[in-house]
């Protein structure tokens, strides 16, 4: 099973603490050694780091761990290959443009007998089921809303419909963001927490590291963190029920539907 990490905030925030524990799962505290990647939204742009090497040993991951990039939305992925060889083009997260904005996607799971028709606007570069699903998802959105992005509620409803059909082919845990919102779908395993005032100290599960968030935040800050399994052992993580799609905005759950 791959590992997913997402962050959605109401003020630009760095992910160094969470990523420190997360990267250890790529070959040190877990057996996922088939590449990793992370994408940070910065305004309308996206800063992406990808490496087909294990994250626990990656010099690029070490750079990211010490690089306090502040972002409202972040998606990271550690790969355990099920479909597609271990190469850079098969490394998540994947990025495409739709409606004049970048969209970022990372998937955990395995889709069987899945060969959706594609219009040609969005095509896979690699050979993973994950990238095909991303292209299919964006293809559907582009066809449904040819004149531009719909209202958030209509977008969420359409995502829920399409995701349900894709998930019928197997495990479809994923994170998706357009820089405004972060969408998370749990097929088997995904959880989240929201850090907000009063802030406290958090201790990582995968590294002996503690961060006192009361020292680095303001009372109005709010940060939602989404992960395959809890990253800390002294905070309350909420499991996302299987079959549930969640929209996060400004560091909080905006909409949830199973």
Write out the catalytic residue numbers: 2
Residue 75 Cα distances to 190, 212, 226, angstroms: 14, 23, 9
Return the closest-CA partner of residue 10 out of 91, 94, 71.
71
Query: d(Cα 173, Cα 131) in Å, to the nearest integer?
Result: 13
Residue pair 255/247 in contact by the 8 Å Cβ criterion: yes
Query: d(Cα 180, Cα 178) in Å, to the nearest integer?
Result: 6
Show the DSSP H helices in 40-151 as ranges. 59-65, 129-144
Query: d(Cα 213, Cα 236) in Å, to the nearest integer?
Result: 15
Return the closest-CA partner of residue 205 out of 227, 225, 233.
233
Residue pair 35/53 in contact by the 8 Å Cβ criterion: yes
- Which are the contacts of 128, defined by CB distance < 8 A and separation ≥ 6? 83, 84, 90
The number of residues making up the chain comes to 258
Question: Cis (ω within 30 of 0) for the bond into 93?
Answer: yes
Residue pair 36/79 in contact by the 8 Å Cβ criterion: yes
Tokens of 2: 């791959």
């Amino acid at each position: 099973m791959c590992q997913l990490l997402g962050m959605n905030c109401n003020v630009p925030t760095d992910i160094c603490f969470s990523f420190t524990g997360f990267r250890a799962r790529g070959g040190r505290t877990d057996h996922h050694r088939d590449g990793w990647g992370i994408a940070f939204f910065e305004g309308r742009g996206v800063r992406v780091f990808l490496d087909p090497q294990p994250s626990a040993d990656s010099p690029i991951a070490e750079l990211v761990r010490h690089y306090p990039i502040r972002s409202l939305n972040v998606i990271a992925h550690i790969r355990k290959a099920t479909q597609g060889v271990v190469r850079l083009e098969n490394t998540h997260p994947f990025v495409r443009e739709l409606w004049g904005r970048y969209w970022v996607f990372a998937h955990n799971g395995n889709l069987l007998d899945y060969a959706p028709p594609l219009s040609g606007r969005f095509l896979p570069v690699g050979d993973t089921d994950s990238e095909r699903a991303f292209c299919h998802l964006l293809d559907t959105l582009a066809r449904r809303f040819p004149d531009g992005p719909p209202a958030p509620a209509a977008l969420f409803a359409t995502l829920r419909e399409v995701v349900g059909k894709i998930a019928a082919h197997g495990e479809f845990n994923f994170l998706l963001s357009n820089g405004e919102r972060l969408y998370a779908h749990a097929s088997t395993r995904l959880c989240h927490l929201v850090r907000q005032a009063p802030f406290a100290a958090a201790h990582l599960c995968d590294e002996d590291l503690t961060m006192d968030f009361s020292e680095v935040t303001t009372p109005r800050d709010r940060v939602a963190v989404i992960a395959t399994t809890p990253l800390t052992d002294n905070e309350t993580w909420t499991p996302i029920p299987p079959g549930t799609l969640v929209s996060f905005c400004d560091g909080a759950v905006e909409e949830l539907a199973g």
